[in-house]
Structure formats: C-alpha cells, structure tokens
Structure 1
Amino acid sequence: MKMKNAGPIDLSEYQRLGIKTNSTAFKRCLNAGLLNNIDESFVKEVQEYWKRNYGKSIDPVLNIAFMNLTGSKEIRIKPRQVLRKKILPLFNDYDMSLGYQDKNLYDIMINPGRSPETVLKNVNGTYFDANNNSIDTTEATRILLRYNTDLIIKPSRTNNGKKISKLTFRDGNIYLNGKRINTQDLDRIYTKNFIVQKAMEQHPVMAAPHPSSVNTLRMYTFRWNNKITNLPSFARFGGNHHINDNMETGGLCLGVTDTGKFLNVAVDDYMKTYSRHPTTGFCFADLEPIPKFDEIKQFVKDCHKSILHLDVISWDIIIGFDGKPIFLEANFSGPLWMGQFITQRPSFGDLTEEVLQFVNRELKTTDPTLMKKDRLKKQKKEIDELKKQNQKLKEALEKKDNELKSIKGI
C-alpha cells in the first residue's frame, strides 16, 4: 500500500494497522517520509511475531519506518513505549539510577580508569577539588586560574547537552563562551551541581565530520545471563559548530558495525538522513574505521561491572588522540528505540526473542518501576482523571440537590 504524499492525511488508514497517530514516533516517521510505503502482509507478520514472543500486538510504526529506511523487513524492531515503559524498567532499577548518573560521583561509583581530568566540582552549591576535598569560592577561583588550557563546564545531573560550555583563560581572567566571568557568575548561571574538566584532544577520525564538537561513541552494554555483552553502537557528531554532540542541539548520529566501520548514512533527531554533514559538508562514506574498536568494546563492558543495579547502559566514549577509549558519561534512559534506525539493527540483536519472552513472563507478575519522568507523567494523568471524576460527581450532586429542591418547592 502506498500512502499519499500530498493533500490531507487520512489517519484512519494508519490507525487501522494499529498505529498510534498521536505518538512522537509516528509524527517523526511521517514527517521524515518513512511511512510512504506500507506492506500489510509484513505488518501482519510483525504482529504474529510479537504476540508469539511478547504476548501482545504492538504499534508497528517503527517496523514500517525501518523498512522504508533500509529496505529490510525487520520484525524485531521494538516500539519506543515498549522499550521505555516495559523492557528497560525490568532490567534497570530506576530508584538507584539517580546516584549513578551524577557526573560528580563517576570517580567514586564507576572509577573507569580513563576519563577527562576533573578540575573542579560543585555539589549542592559546595565546591570540591579533584580529590573531593571541599573548598571555598576563593580556592575554586585559584584552581581555575592555574590552567592555561581550555576547560569544559557542564551540569552534573543532566545528559541533554544543555549548558555545556567552554571556559578559556587570558591575562588572569576567566571567560565563558568568550565573555569574562568569575566564580560568582558560574554560581549564578549553573546554580549548583556542575563539573569542570580539561578539554580532551580527540582522535582525527572522530573529529573529521565536525571538528568544533567533542564527538563520542554511544556504546550500549547489556547484562544478560550473568554476562555483559555489547549491543549495537553508533557515533555522535555535533552540528552548527556547537561544542557538544547531542542530537537535541543539532547533532547527527551514524551507525557503527561490530568491527568499527561506519555506515554511510547519518540520522538526525527528526529521523531525516544525511550522506554528508550539513554543517561541514563532510562525506560520511570517507570516514576511516574506528581504531582499536575491540579494545573500546571491552572497556565499556569493564565499566559496566561497577554498576550492579542497572543491566542496560549506554556509554558516551571519547576516542583519544592515541586511539584509546576515554569514559565521558553513563546513561540509563537514552533513546534505544532511535538507535535501531541509526545502527540499522534491532536494539537487542539476536537476543531479541529470548529477551521478549523473558519480559512477557515477568510482566505477568511484576509491575516495573518506571523512570522518574514517566512516573511523574503517570501520576499527573491519574490526578487529572480523579479531578474529572470528582467534577462529574459534583455536577451529579448539584443536579440531585436541585431535583430535591424542586420536589420540596424551594
């Protein structure tokens, strides 16, 4: 079935196939032109597979979009909401994730061995030096002014790429993005909970598409059957000359094979594809393979050994100038669903079937703890529903009260 490319969109055609047309995934896929061709027999095959292994039918929008993008009829592509609200909460204890995700605790909680040199920390408004000794603002300023090289400052409890900036030094003064500041200004801008680190020199292969940003590998690991394994990975390249590589700020992502070779087509946050970087014009097909990729894969598996409460983790890894991996961040709720399009592979690969069967069994007896953001959304939805019910009861009581008054002739 070929969908119309022009004129009003008939959402009922999509809804008939089980697609939730109000979802983020549907809107992105539709706008990216990834729902133009629909094979209904393939959709039927998808539903049969998921009912057999997961026990339920699913929204097939990502399977259809994946087919339009790659030409492959991949039944194992997982829906965004199933991954986020069913699969990941079963493997990750999100009550414990808040402690692990604080960048100021990485040296204590993970101790990865190779990471950017920490210059300064701010935890709940208190400054700490690189050895975790608490210091006052005057000493914090002295520490910063000892450096004559670029530093990176960023919030320590978020991973959305916002407020990541460069600190530079000239004539005994501190500059943030070219503007002269002092530590009081940092307190005002970042409030509290941030970290300052030395800027890293990255490998030429990773720098090539967009040299302005610190570009990273997004590596996934999965603890399953008492073994930590690598899941499909991809590279993240910044855009628009930003210093960070986040998709939310204009970055692109490019799939990486298990041997460290890059795919030729990158994807942005809106699921649009690029063979060249839109800022620099760099051709992705010209990228050399990632050096020492097996060493990098082992590095993230070793890092995962320090995190016991979370079984699915995504790692942001810098490739140093020497080709060795440098730990940057750990994430526990990244867009694993989107990674399937970037890597052009299902998120759990050949483990998909047994993972889905496990999830199917567990969900019959377990109500998984959602991520904090999803819990708040769920609570708000429940409160809104109770308010509606309360309003209906009030209206019903008022109606009955008026009826009684009418009977009594009041």
Structure 2
Amino acid sequence: MIKLVIKKKINILLQKYRIARKRHIEIRKFKDPKRIKIYSQIELTEKQKKQIDDFYLSNYGKKIPYTWHRYFTAFTGSFDPQYFPELLFIPEFERYMNPNQSYVNVFADKNVLAAIAAGVGVRMPKSVVSSVNNILLDKEYRLIDWNSLETLLGEGEYFAKPTVDSDSGRGCRLLDCKNNNMLHALKKMGCDFVVQEKIVCSESISRLHPASVNTLRIMTYVWKEKIAVAPVIMRIGRNGSFLDNAHAGGMFIAVNNDGSLHKYAFTEFRERFYEHPDTKIIFEGYVIKNLEKVIKEAIRMHSALSQLGVINWDFTIDKNEEPILIEANTSGGSIWLFQIAWGRGVFGENTAEILQWMRGNRV
C-alpha cells in the first residue's frame, strides 16, 4: 500500500515537471525578437484584458499572460478573449487528451500509420521502399538489401522522408533516381524512413503553387463522445520550394466549409498576401474542391486511432479528386496556425468547457 502511494506521488511530481518544462519551452518561444516585434505592436485595452481575465478565471481558475492574445490579434486585428494559448495547449491539453506517450510515439511513425490507414481504407502516398529500424522493406513488406534498392526504384522520381522524430519538413527530400548520389542520400536519412511515389495534386490545389504538395491541416479532437473538427486551414508553398510548412517558409490560410479561401494568407512572421506571390492567384473566394471528403477521412482515421484524444492531420487531394493522408501529428500541434488564419479561438463554443475540464485534470 505504501509503495502504491509513493508511486502515485512520484507520478504526480513527474507530470508536474513535464508540464512545467513544456510551459517553459512555450514561454521561451516568445522571447524570439521576431515574435516580440510582432506582439509589441499591439497593446490590449483595459476592457480586453478584463475580458481575458474574467473568461480564464471563471473557467480555468487562473489568469494567463496576455502575450498570446496580443500576438494573435496583431496578425489580423481581430481580438477574441477565447484565443487558446499554446502555453496551455501543448503542456496541458495535449497531455491530458493523449496521456499514453507510447501511443503518441507509435502513431506518429509514418510507417505504422500507413498500415493502419490501409486497414480502414484511407489512402496515403504509395510506398515503394521503407526502412524500419534499419531494416529495408519493399512495398509488400518483404526484406530487401541495398544492392537491390537501385533496381527497385528504377529511374523514377520519389519523395523521401524520415518516419520518426521529424517535423516541419525536416529531413524531407526529392529523389531523382537518375542522380548517382541517390543511394548515398538515402543512407544519410537514418534508420527510419520511407520512399514514396510523388503525389500529383488536384487542379484546384496544384494551381496555387505547383512545385509543392499543398496540404489541408485538420485538427480533430474527441469531445462529448464525438469527434469534433476545428476550423480548417491550408498550407501553401512558395518560392518554388517543394515544402509547404510555415516553419520552412510556406504560408497558411483559413478555409471555409465550402472550400473557399479567406482573403489573406500569412507566414510565420506576419507577412501577409492577398494573392500568391508566385502564381498571382487571388486567394479570396478561390475554392478547394472536395474539402468535405477530406474531413470525413480525417474523422475516419481518428476513429481508428481512438487511443488519442487530439490529432493534427495533414491531407491533400490528388489528381483524381480523392483525399490523400500525408501524416498524423500526435504531439506539438501548432494551434497558432488556426488562430492566426481565422482570427478567433480554435475551440469556439467548446472553449469554456474545455478549460473547465483541464481545470479538473490539473495535478
């Protein structure tokens, strides 16, 4: 009995430490001079500060710093007391929603995710070769060796990416098998990676920036025994880059339920565009077809991964107008993307109850 009590106290202390460490990371991000420059341009009124204090005190039980509200407001000029700071999202909301770190890690593995997606009929890019813990496999999961890899790939063009411990496009690369350095490039990718056929996006997605696979970011979360969907955004590449990630220089924009884009796309550090700087396509009213199909597939995938309470999905739509799942982000969800793009809190009418729930889970 004493051992159980001690174990429980140790677990509580560990959880408090992990939350404090994550909070410190989020606070440190806003010591970046680029971010300081952005939020310093906005001073909240006393009325706005009171709205934030009242809302968070009554639901979360504590006041929060105004930094995130200033930052989000600076992008669009839209103030919302229900903006949800990353100070609470990653350290607490994600941790409470996804308490088992083993599931978080396993489902983030793109090689594992592909097998689950195939089992529920959700399409992902076709895998040609994968490496799992330094073991090479073909698309039928048969063992192969490096000597046969070049023959297997032929002279095609592929997309290679790490399958674990990767984010923001880090480590991703385009492979041209006519290049004699292809095997060397793959060997530098580590023990866990996948080589996929290149995706050809639908016309409505490709036209925005043909060089990149532009993706729809969809956050789903389990709430009141249902899978809720946050407001959708789209990430778009620029400057000829094959990456669309905001951290890699891409832009992001809000997408209405009918697939139409909002007026402005943003970059991570507050560049704002009403048209794409490369293709000159005007964003406002431009329609991405078949968004509703993507949302249905995201919900289906979350049902298959119901061990987790919140997941950020990256989807695109292929040349046949069908959804393609790119990856699942099971931790470190970038809710700032949604809130900047939409100019309002990511959880909308659920925000108060979510804060109350977090208050009840607080250790």
Global fold match (TM > 0.5): yes
Tell me the SS of whatever aligns to 1:190: coil
Tell whether 2:162 aligns with 1:152. Answer: no
Partner letter of residue 267 of structure 1? F
Contact 1:26–1:61 (CA<8 Å) still a contact in 2?
no
- The answer for the alignment partner of 2:115 in structure 1 is 108
User: Which range is displaced more, 209-218 or 48-57?
Assistant: 209-218
What is the aligned counterpart of 2:93 among 87, 97, 107?
A: 87
In the alignment, the residues of structure 2 paired with residue 312 and residue 221 of structure 1 have an alpha-carbon distance, to the nearest angstrom, of 6
Counterpart amino acid of residue 181 in structure 1: N
Q: Is the 8 A contact 2:73 2:343 kept in 1?
A: no
User: Does the 8 Å contact 1:29/1:271 carry over to 2?
Assistant: no
- Secondary structure, in 3 states, of the residue corresponding to 2:140? coil
Q: How does 1:255-334 map to 2 (within 5 A)?
A: 255-285=254-284, 288-332=286-330, 333-334=332-333
Compared CA separation, residues 149 and 270, structure 1 to 2 (3 A): same
Q: Match of 2:42, SS? A: coil
Q: Which has the higher contact order (CA 8 A, sep 6+)?
A: 2
Q: Is this contact kept in 1: 2:26–2:87, CA < 8 A? A: no
CA distance in 2, matches of 1:98, 1:21: 21
Aligned-partner SS, 1:97: helix
Task: Note the C-alpha offset of 1:22.
Answer: 6.3
Question: Which residue of 119, 122, 126 maps to 1:117?
Answer: 126
Q: In structure 1, which of residues 168, 172, 183 is the aligned counterpart of residue 176 of structure 2?
A: 168
The Cα of 1:53 is off from its aligned counterpart by 0.3
Q: Is the 8 A contact 1:317 1:325 kept in 2?
A: yes
CA displacement 1:362-393 (0-9 Å, x = unmatched): 11xx4xxxxxxxxxxxxxxxxxxxxxxxxxxx
Distance in 2 (CA, whole Å) between partners of 1:57 and 1:194 is 43
- Bigger shift: 26-35 or 272-281? 26-35
Q: Give the TM-score of the pair, scaled to structure 2.
A: 0.85
Partner residue, 1:379: none
Q: CA deviation at 1:167?
A: 1.8
Contact kept in structure 2, 1:255 and 1:344, CA below 8 Å = no
Distance in structure 1 (CA, Å) of the matches to 2:40 and 2:283: 21
Q: What does residue 29 of structure 2 align with?
A: 24
Q: Is the Cα contact below 8 Å between 1:232 and 1:345 reproduced in 2?
A: no
Q: Which amino acid aligns with 1:69?
A: F
> Cα deviation per residue 1:323-372 (whole Å; 9 max; x = unaligned)?
22111100022211332112323111211111111111111xx4xxxxxx
1:139 aligns with 2:148: yes
Write the distance in 2 (CA, Å) between the matches of 1:189 and 1:240.
26
Report Cα offsets for 1:109-154 as digits up to 9, x if no partner: 3335311111000112211011111111122222111xx5421111
Query: Which letter maps to 2:169?
Result: G
SS at match of 2:231: strand
Match for 1:195: what amino acid?
Answer: V
How many angstroms apart in 2 are the aligned matches of 1:360 and 1:352?
Answer: 12
Q: How many angstroms does 1:33 deviate by?
A: 5.9
Check the 8 A contact 1:37/1:68 in 2, yes or no: no
Q: Is the 1:239–1:249 Cα contact (8 Å) retained in structure 2?
A: no
Structure 1 Cα separation of the partners of residues 349 and 40 of structure 2: 25
The more displaced of 68-77 and 44-53 is 68-77
Deviation by residue 1:64-123 (Cα, 9 ceiling, x = unmatched): 333343343311101111111111110013332111111111222333531111100011
Number of equivalences = 333
Q: Quick check: 2:51–2:81 contact (8 Å CA) kept in 1? A: yes
Q: Secondary structure at the match of 2:230?
A: strand
Larger radius of gyration: 1
CA gap 1:49/1:266 in 2 versus in 1, 3 angstroms: same
3-state SS of 1:304 partner:
helix
Unmatched 5+ stretches in structure 1: 1-19, 367-410
Normalising by structure 1, report the TM-score.
0.76
- For 1:159, the aligned partner's letter is D
- 2:53 corresponds, among 34, 40, 47, to 47
Contact 2:227 2:299 in 1 (8 A): yes
The match for 2:106 among 99, 105, 116 is 99
SS in 1 for 2:288: coil
Contact 1:213 1:242 survives alignment (8 Å):
yes
